[in-house]
Structure 1
């Protein structure tokens, strides 16, 4: 039935019900197939307002608010729900022939005012009910997501239950995943903006399946599939850095939280692989802080040597004490000599490059290397001594010596 078809003035009885049912059907189709049940008694409120000027009662508006909540729970967009109500109002108004025939402009104006009041209050109440339901759904989803993330990262929950709970979030636990942690430079008063920014850029790059973004203990947590990241970067072990760079690039745009530091665990398959990758990312973040590293992106793969060295801390303390503490006798203390060794080993034992990195002369570097040999008894140029010295330097950095005294 087109809008131009004229119906008799609304009267009580079956014909009136049939006319309103036809209006509801056309309005539902106009709104993209929205169920007409969401109109409730709205059409009757419109006709009553047009004919008698009656305004909606509180209970009738509460019913409209409940319909708004139902629309949200059914996944209908707010725009389509509002369009349903506006389309229905337009059709009802255009199909009231007694107003079309009326010569009383005041009566038409009064009817229009009454109908518009119903439309205004009903649509506002519908939108309010919709918003309340959406907030409740979001809070419930956030709570479920946070609980799921906690259980995934802990790795000791029921496997079957985890698989079932992960499915609504699009997480395939049979795939290879990796975990990244983002630590703000200062505490965030509100993490919503950071989470939204991460979701936007990560969903755009990796899709919204197999990705979870949440918070845990003041850190932003991202669980993401590892294979698209590795394919994008074209590398194996170092592929984790791409996710970290992606996250840091987006977070660094935010005013709050800078400077950010992102640690990325290695990719691992299965449910327990997620927990393992999380532990690696957390340990990498802790190790980087102990090393006073200012790197914006930390790859757990690059810090594996520190995990090995720190597994037996007493042995590492003994090594540092035996090999490096004699350097404290040098003028200026041990730290300049340790910095020289660190850069010397990092650049492949090339004195000129080490001097450039340290912003000193080559002669200063060679002098310091000679002092290290004289004080410690280990020669940095000797292949047999080089490994011992390098391991001791790495251990000293991990133990933050000489800034802090060695553990007893």
Structure 2
């Protein structure tokens, strides 16, 4: 009869302990009770034996934290669930109910608190580890998507994947790229600062800020072209107005392959601007189409450079002052006084050098057709990266 009463008492206590998970779930504002698992019965054993949780039980709590992260349950909620279960179970624990004096209660309390602390730490570690893995996995997916988007690979699935990152590839998109003296790396300070500031100001997921080949890249819908100006302002804040950097802007292009076309145009624009040392920071591909035409026959362009400019090699003092004068003269709209100011020389020096160019090459800046040949030859040398005495295209 006594054995029956003891068995009944254990069953009653087990039922009470079993109900603690549901009560803790309500106290933790609905965090799923199944995350408690055997935690309460493990605490009950600790209260009686005064022994800490072993590695196996802590591993279970670690896995609970991982599962909670995967299910999107806030960490504070999971911790609240465990702490609620701890204080709700406390008066029902074997080591507490069976304590004969205050010292025994204190010893049980210390053991239970140590176990609860270890359990919460294991839950937190598992949760954070799962989150780090999720972040790394998301970054990997994003990097793969960006590479495919800007390289034009896997176009068939791009539109579907783009929705995950807030892009709509069915319409038109415009790409801007920034080239700086120091490469802009993925996840670096500059890229993070520009992305965070831009998204904070726009409150829109339709804009993608990323990196590619040491360039900072911004993809915006064709209906939001004005965002490019805000992008440039944020880049100015991140890199500084005095730093050496420039922006290339592609034309609006439609469809999944439109982004890569606009990206290539933007990269071309910033590259050409660098070769020709064009003034200003922002360079639009549509304004540089004439240079694209020139480069379509690089062999003929190299021949022109050689024929027109090679005679300058015989100039006293070298060819470079004459080339610099020609370049500045055409850049200043063929105005000698403006050219002189640009070069920090006198007007007579400019006119003398232009006269020497005519004597050496036979081409005069006063003759429209000859001036065009000189202008294209000077531009061609810069575009092709050729010295004035180049004889053939690379």
Where in structure 2 are the equivalents of 1:29-48 lying within 5 Å?
A: 29=29, 33-48=30-45
- How many residues align structurally? 384
Q: 1:44 to 1:222 in 2, by over 3 A?
A: farther
RMSD: 3.5
Aligned counterparts, 1:7-406, within 5 A:
12-27=13-28, 29=29, 33-50=30-47, 53-93=50-90, 104-159=101-156, 161-183=157-179, 185-186=181-182, 191-207=187-203, 209-228=205-224, 230-231=225-226, 240=228, 242-252=230-240, 262-291=247-276, 298-402=283-387, 405-406=390-391
Question: 2:21, 2:34 within 8 Å by CA — same for their partners in 1?
Answer: no
- Summarize the Cα distance change of 1:300–1:250 in structure 2 as closer, same or farther, 3 Å threshold: farther
Go from structure 1 to structure 2 and tell me whether the alpha carbon gap of 1:311 and 1:190 turns closer, same or farther (over 3 Å shift).
closer
Superposed CA deviations along residues 324-379 of structure 1, whole A, max 9, x for unmatched, are 22233322222222222222222222222221111111221222222223333333
Pair 189,400 (structure 1): closer, same or farther in 2 beyond 3 Å: closer
- Secondary structure at the residue paired with 2:220? strand
Question: Which is worse superposed, 209-218 or 165-174?
Answer: 209-218
In the TM superposition, residue 54 of structure 1 has moved relative to its aligned partner by 4.4
**TM-score, normalised via structure 2 length:** 0.82
Contact persistence 2:276–2:383 (CA under 8 A): yes
CA distance in structure 1 between the aligned counterparts of 2:247 and 2:87, rounded to whole angstroms: 54
1:30-49 deviation digits (Å, cap 9, x = unpaired)? xxx43333333333334444
Distance verdict in 2 for CA 1:189–1:43, change over 3 Å: same
Tell whether the 8 Å contact from 2:209 to 2:218 is kept in structure 1 after alignment.
yes
Question: Matches of 2:11 and 2:329 in 1, distance apart?
Answer: 93
Shift of 1:402: 2.8
How big is the shift at 1:79? 3.5
- In structure 1, the gaps of 5 or more residues are 1-7, 233-239
Bigger drift between 75-84 and 108-117 goes to: 75-84
Query: Cα deviations across residues 287-330 of structure 1 (Å, max 9, x unaligned)?
Result: 34544679765543444332221111011112222222223332
Q: Residues 84 and 369 of structure 1: is their aligned pair in 2 closer, same or farther, counting only changes over 3 Å? A: farther
Q: Is the contact between residue 248 and residue 260 of structure 1 (CA under 8 Å) also seen in structure 2?
A: no
Shift of the alpha carbon at 1:87?
4.2
Decide whether aligned partners of structure 1 residues 390 and 114 sit closer, same or farther in structure 2, where only a CA change above 3 A counts: same
Between the aligned partners of 1:123 and 1:260, the Cα distance in structure 2 is: 49
Larger radius of gyration: 2
Cα displacement (A) at 1:276? 0.4
Q: Aligned-pair distance for 1:113?
A: 1.5
The CA deviation at 1:275 is 0.8
